[in-house]
Structure 1
Amino acid sequence: MTRALDPATITLDGIQLIEASAGTGKTYTITQLFIRLLVEKNLEIENILVATFTEAATSELRDRIRSKLREALEVFEHGGSTDPFFKSLLERVDAKKALTAIDLALESYDLAAIHTIHGFYKRILSENAFESGVPFDSEIVKNMDPLIEEVVNDFWVARVYDEDLLIVKYLREQKLSPKALKKLAKKIRERSEADILPERAELPAMPDPEDREAAYRECRRLWLEETEAVKAILLAENTDLHRNKYRLTSLEKWFTELDGFFEADTCSAFELPGNFYKFTPAGLDDGLKPKAKEAGAEPPSHPFFEACEHLDEETRTLCDALDSRVLELKQELSDAVRAELPRRMRERGLMGFDDILRDLDQALQGDRGTRLAETICGHYHAALIDEFQDTDPVQYRIFQTIQAVGKLPVFFIGDPKQAIYSFRGADIFAYLDAVADAGDNINTMKTNWRSDPELVGAINTLFGTRENPFRLEAISYQEVSAADQRKNELTIDSHNASGIDIIRFDCEKEAQQGKAKISGPNANDRIARQLCSSISSLLEKDTLLDGRKVRAGDIAVLVRTSPQARDVQEALRNVNIPSVVSGGGNIFHTPELHELYLWLQAITDPSNDGKLRAALSTSLLGLNAARIDSLENDEHAWDQWI
């Protein structure tokens, strides 16, 4: 059972879990708790640990806490405040002693223990090298990609180069390249404690590929010789086949796919055509009309259908055996990453952020763990952990172990809804462990101070009407209310804008209208064009933000991937709406940098006509083919460009 948080009265003992949705004043609450720990627990500023996940968040917390201390100094100097938090504090503490504590905290603010999580762990290891058993001179590596790539490439050479050609071909078809294995290796590295499933099993015997090849040749022979007979059976008007499953238009498409598949003398691909099963006796049996099946009807029969089933079985047998070997390869990669990467790092005196976590965790669980925890507790007497939902089991176990030894007040502050975002490193079960440890000490921040009431209401409706919206009963949606401060109020044609507009593409209706099927590539294009249309409408209508006309810079577009961001930017550029892409991508992979590269090549080698033509054709200079051609026939104009 959760209760509404009151920062002025929440107990300053034990483990306290504070659930804070976006915009509910999480950082403000941290500053208030920091003040209380100073004046009520009589802690010195260096004894209060404040930890969060990014350098930017650390910098913001440092500034906000300093600002709150200055505000507190004025309050305790003058002995009065209209702020409910300070009014409550003045009633409980000695103002003179509190003033002294705040003044001292400001004077020694450089000692404030406000760190990133990894920064805090690194400090612990370096200050307690003997207890932790970690070398003094280890170098921290922020980017592990080059080392991971080195291990993966060496693994690929040692493991794959001498592999059977059939398996190498299968790896290629499955797009399992060193680049793909590098992505897998990074995940293995990040989840060092995760079990690899399924567990290793004895590899099945490798079938003779010639068996499948023979099945293919027979199937191909029958198709080439009996095409018209097979088509006549399946296209017959008087058939027991269900035409919703064997539509005439679909059959024509499937016939074309078979024509393409059987063009080759040998079966070069491991994958059969997508609807190949429809031509097997089992597939045809599944396609019978229910009433016909009840009446004992048999599916259409032809030797080609039997041959298709034989080829399907041989293909599955071969691919199952190959899949087992691919799985074995991935498991061997996991072993290599978990053994070889740490070994190479130790040899070179390197540590990654994950190594810091692992080493501190192992030190705390080891023989000298209690002594190390006591040493840490001797320095830090309370902790405020921001963005707690981003912790993983190892990080939580570290804080849990330290807290258990020192019985420190520890505040875990975060948004449980974001604990589902594993791409940020969050682990839902680490959060649930904290819920169990907190017991009745679970507090919720109920008021959103940032968003408009319409948006807050829309989010409450969207999630509140769904049972089990996060697919885990342990995490429910806690409604919040809006402070109704009406900041950044948006109106369209003199009416308040709705909190959420959902645009749905009616794929079935569009298909009936003969429009192209919405799939991956064209879906991105459709969405980008729809976004452009919506943004253009906002900019053209009588749309006001706090009474002024909306500008392009007021609008943000959030996408999942960098390519999607570039697609949207290109669509906006086509309708002359300026935009800037921030975050996510590598600037050296952008079209603009490629064009700049061509430009610089021409500048450094102006006598090279080819490089000069390439530079002139870029959007930076904007000459078309006809203009460039005319320049080449005009020596004076050509020299001017050079």
Structure 2
Amino acid sequence: MDNVNVANTLQPMTFPLHGARLIEASAGTGKTFTIASLYLRLLLGHGSDASRHAQELTVEQILVVTFTEAATAELRDRIRARIHDARLAFSRGVSKDPVIAPLLAEIPDHKAAAAILLNAERQMDEAAIYTIHGFCQRMLTQNAFESGSRFNNEFITDEAPLKQLVVADYWRRNFYHLPHGLASEVRQLWASPAALLKDIGNSLTGAPVRLSVPPLSASLEQLHADNMTRIDAMKALWREHAGDLEAVIAGSGVNKRSYTKKSLPAWLAEVSQWAALPTEDYTLPDKLERFHQQVLIEKTPKGEPPVHAVFEAVADLLDNPANLRDPLIAHAIEACRVLLAQAKARKGWLSFDDLLTQLSAAIDHDQDGLLTSRIRSQYPVAMIDEFQDTDPLQYSIFSQIYQEQPECGLFMIGDPKQAIYAFRGADIFTYIQARRQVTDHYTLDTNWRSTADMVASVNTIFQTPDSPFIYDQDITFLPVNHSPKAADRSWHLEQQRQPALTFWLQEAEAGKPLPKGSYQDAMATATAAQIQHILTASQQGAAYFADGDEHHAIEAGNIAVLVRTGSEGKLIKHALAEQGIASVYLSNRDSVFSSAEAADVQRLLQAVLTPEDERALRAALASSCLP
């Protein structure tokens, strides 16, 4: 492993408060506590000549960025609480807190420090703790001249209706005038504008997408004609050499079990039948792939593989298919992005993604560095929480502002093992890029949340394999220590201390594994039975959490079951219900309008709307809404 990738254990009291630094914080290692501790040091100007920031900062100068409103509120509350505790400690001159106590010892003027913290506590409502989109919105508004942004943009949270209008407009402009045959081909790809929007919707905003296929360079009619000509040429070549192909394959070293005397003529006949028909659509015979040159080579374990110009032509057609879909999607994305941007510009609207793209574009075009200089002046230090969920555009913004600025601070805090937001653009390769670019790496090495047994179990699982992660050079597993009191915490069942981690293996019946459905049913039943056993034992005082000499009964709310899919969740919920145990599926994505309660409310409203309708009235009276 390169020295560049070695992470130093982070010490909150000596951590340098300047430069670009990456902090890897596994779950439960005190990430928020560390952020609040560094925040305190920045407020008080704490540190040695090598570690302190150039000046004391106010709460309005320390930028803290995270990714949800809930996380923002939690961070604000936690930092406010730390400031309050530190202020009381400086007022009283005593503290046992591992961070505040050293501050008391190293800052001689307690009265001045208490005054700084009191002022910070009063100003916490103005603290620069934002979501990424909140930060971008403020920068665009406050620096309208430098960013070229409007002063009076209207912020919209849902641009789905506008996307629908834009794609419908694109559909009318490009498809309504097509001849019947070509229009039918398009309708086979997308039955409606809504279907097209489903394929391209996520690419219409945000950073410009990189298209693997060039968009249409000519008319759709011309592309269709060129495709038909290409398929015709393939058919003509096949017809010309069809009589030679069986002998070429039979006389080669190709596996004769794959290309048998019975199947080979049938496959050739199927393709020949297709080649004899006039080309009217993009349909290709299923067996054409059997004559792909690379497939034939792979099916030749010994001897010479069959080689022919027809096989090369088949390979070219299958590897680079003649189709409308790929160029059309590229064209639709490119055109609809422009139409969407124009529509929002006319209305003065900005979406979440627009905030990022506009600030990034403004920074890219800021040749004199005026905008980035103003942002650094306003926020000399930035702490990016949950950095593993950053996308390329977000990282580009902060790296251009703070990289190569050693007097400022850019602290990126996250855990690549918890990168779970790929569906909304988060990119683990962005984290890897940052890890390679930033040479100062730190880690939090103590888990303060879990028991000693759980920490040891997780360490063992990930230390045992040679390659626990795919990108081991960039995402390494660093074992963590348990907290001093973690060894005293455990859970017990029937007077026996239970292991932190247990694997269940469903035994095979008659030497054969269970089918998937039967396996899932069996595991759901076993899980519910075990939960019932634990809760029953808890009621009898035989199942409890132990924390030193204290015992706490295990309750249903202490138990969570993780599932991969909604169907698995329903199986567990049903199995628990059969045991008389109520449960809540926290990832339920079913529409509220499909529930029985919604149907009852609809019946009630229908009866109110049409009181003369006796059937509607009776249905409402029979619903669960009325006692």
TM-score relative to the length of structure 2: 0.75
Q: Distance in 2 between matches of 1:596 and 1:529?
A: 35
Match of 1:69 among 83, 99, 121: 83
Contact 1:207 1:317 in 2 (8 A): no
Quote how far apart the aligned CAs of 1:167 are.
6.4
Residues 328 and 117 of structure 1: CA distance in aligned 2, closer, same or farther (over 3 Å): same
Contact 1:140 1:352 in 2 (8 A): yes
Partner of 2:343: 344
Partner of 1:57: 71
How does 1:114-513 map onto structure 2 within 5 Å? 114-161=129-176, 178-189=193-204, 191-199=206-214, 205-207=226-228, 321=321, 323=323, 325-367=324-366, 370-403=369-402, 404=404, 407-419=407-419, 421-439=421-439, 441-472=440-471, 473-483=473-483, 484-485=485-486, 489-503=490-504, 513=512
Partner of 1:588: 592
Q: Distance in 1 between matches of 2:125 and 2:31?
A: 23
Residues 285 and 347 of structure 1: CA distance in aligned 2, closer, same or farther (over 3 Å): closer
Quote how far apart the aligned CAs of 1:187 are.
2.6
Q: Distance in 1 between matches of 2:418 and 2:281?
A: 46
Quote how far apart the aligned CAs of 1:568 are.
4.5
Alignment pair present for 1:29 and 2:34: yes
Quote how far apart the aligned CAs of 1:322 are.
5.3
Residues 280 and 101 of structure 1: CA distance in aligned 2, closer, same or farther (over 3 Å): closer
Contact 1:392 1:427 in 2 (8 A): yes
Q: Distance in 2 between matches of 1:147 and 1:197?
A: 26
**Larger helix share, 1 or 2:** 1
Partner of 1:537: 530
Secondary structure (helix, strand or coil) at the match of 1:399 reads: helix
Q: Distance in 2 between matches of 1:607 and 1:419?
A: 58
Partner of 1:43: 57
Residues 609 and 174 of structure 1: CA distance in aligned 2, closer, same or farther (over 3 Å): farther
Aligned length: 560
Residues 168 and 31 of structure 1: CA distance in aligned 2, closer, same or farther (over 3 Å): same
Q: Distance in 2 between matches of 1:272 and 1:616?
A: 60
Residues 32 and 616 of structure 1: CA distance in aligned 2, closer, same or farther (over 3 Å): same
| Alignment gaps of 5+ in structure 1 | 216-239, 252-257, 259-266, 299-309, 622-640
Q: Distance in 1 between matches of 2:69 and 2:456?
A: 33
Contact 1:241 1:289 in 2 (8 A): no
Partner of 2:267: none
Partner of 2:16: 11
Q: Distance in 2 between matches of 1:402 and 1:188?
A: 26
Secondary structure (helix, strand or coil) at the match of 1:84 reads: coil
Residues 532 and 70 of structure 1: CA distance in aligned 2, closer, same or farther (over 3 Å): farther
How does 1:543-562 map onto structure 2 within 5 Å? 544-546=543-545, 547-560=551-564
Contact 2:95 2:101 in 1 (8 A): yes
Contact 1:18 1:413 in 2 (8 A): yes
How does 1:629-640 map onto structure 2 within 5 Å? none
Secondary structure (helix, strand or coil) at the match of 1:45 reads: coil
Quote how far apart the aligned CAs of 1:26 are.
0.5
Q: Distance in 2 between matches of 1:92 and 1:182?
A: 61
Secondary structure (helix, strand or coil) at the match of 2:411 reads: strand
Quote how far apart the aligned CAs of 1:401 are.
2.3
Give the letter aligned to residue 600 of structure 1: L
How does 1:600-639 map onto structure 2 within 5 Å? 600=604, 603-604=607-608, 605=610, 620=624
Q: Distance in 2 between matches of 1:58 and 1:37?
A: 19
Secondary structure (helix, strand or coil) at the match of 2:227 reads: coil
Deviations 1:221-240 (A, max 9, x none): xxxxxxxxxxxxxxxxxxx9
Quote how far apart the aligned CAs of 1:92 are.
2.3
Residues 269 and 383 of structure 1: CA distance in aligned 2, closer, same or farther (over 3 Å): closer
Partner of 1:2: 7
Give the letter aligned to residue 227 of structure 2: M
Contact 2:140 2:147 in 1 (8 A): yes
Secondary structure (helix, strand or coil) at the match of 2:330 reads: helix
Contact 2:459 2:479 in 1 (8 A): yes
Query: Aligned Cα RMSD in Å?
Result: 4.7
Quote how far apart the aligned CAs of 1:139 are.
0.7
Quote how far apart the aligned CAs of 1:482 are.
2.2
Residues 85 and 328 of structure 1: CA distance in aligned 2, closer, same or farther (over 3 Å): same
Secondary structure (helix, strand or coil) at the match of 1:580 reads: coil
Residues 369 and 182 of structure 1: CA distance in aligned 2, closer, same or farther (over 3 Å): farther
Residues 281 and 159 of structure 1: CA distance in aligned 2, closer, same or farther (over 3 Å): closer
Q: Distance in 1 between matches of 2:369 and 2:614?
A: 73
Q: Which moved more, 1:158-167 or 1:396-405?
A: 158-167
Deviations 1:74-127 (A, max 9, x none): 221222322232232233222333222112212333322111121111111111
Secondary structure (helix, strand or coil) at the match of 1:46 reads: coil
Contact 2:69 2:131 in 1 (8 A): yes
Q: Distance in 1 between matches of 2:180 and 2:457?
A: 57
Partner of 1:306: none
Q: Distance in 2 between matches of 1:211 and 1:124?
A: 57
Q: Distance in 1 between matches of 2:370 and 2:290?
A: 71
Give the letter aligned to residue 61 of structure 1: L
Residues 419 and 538 of structure 1: CA distance in aligned 2, closer, same or farther (over 3 Å): closer
Quote how far apart the aligned CAs of 1:593 are.
4.5
Contact 2:213 2:327 in 1 (8 A): no
Aligned sequence identity (%): 32
Contact 1:598 1:611 in 2 (8 A): no
Contact 2:44 2:56 in 1 (8 A): yes
